[in-house]
Amino acid sequence: MAKADKAVAVKEKQDRQNGTDKSGQTDSKKQVQSVEFAEAVENDSVGSGGSIDILLDMDVPVTVAIGQTEIPVRRLLRLGPGSVLKLGKPIDEPVDLYLRDSKFATGSVVVVDECFAVKIKQILNLNDSGARGTKVDKKS
């Protein structure tokens, strides 16, 4: 047998042992091994790095939703400078505040130092129907 043919035969044998075919594709049959994990023990003690101070100093994004509307794509494509979108929420209703996608408070829009701001009216509990499962609607 020529050296090249012998090298190809050795490569094919290695591929069969590794579960790959001539095209380099992996054989769908894999060898499965069971693994045992040690039981984790819960304890109330906190390690030396357990301080939550680092979390308390983190910034989290807060989203304020003032209203929403739906428009046809045809109208969306016609929008330009000066266009007005009327929102469905009356001006006297509170705005909704969200942490990530969860509503956590309501408030009213105010102006502070020539910038928009929100005055908190109510912090919602997890049990409030307005907080649990409420997702911020990206249509705002």
Beta strands (DSSP E) in the chain are 62-65, 95-99, 102-112, 115-123
Domain extent listing, the chain = 58-123
Q: What is the pLDDT of residue 86?
A: 94
pLDDT over 90 at 25, yes or no: no
CA distance linking residue 25 with residue 19, whole number of Å: 8
pLDDT over 70 at 48, yes or no: no
Domain 58-123 has CATH 2.30.330.10: yes
> Which tens digit of pLDDT belongs to each residue from 54-97?
889 999 999 999 999 999 999 999 999 999 999 999 989 999 99
* Three-point CA angle 90, 94, 95, nearest 5°: 95
Whole-structure pTM value: 0.54
- Amino acid, res. 120: I
Q: What is the pLDDT of residue 33?
A: 84
| Token duo for residue 49 | 């790095």
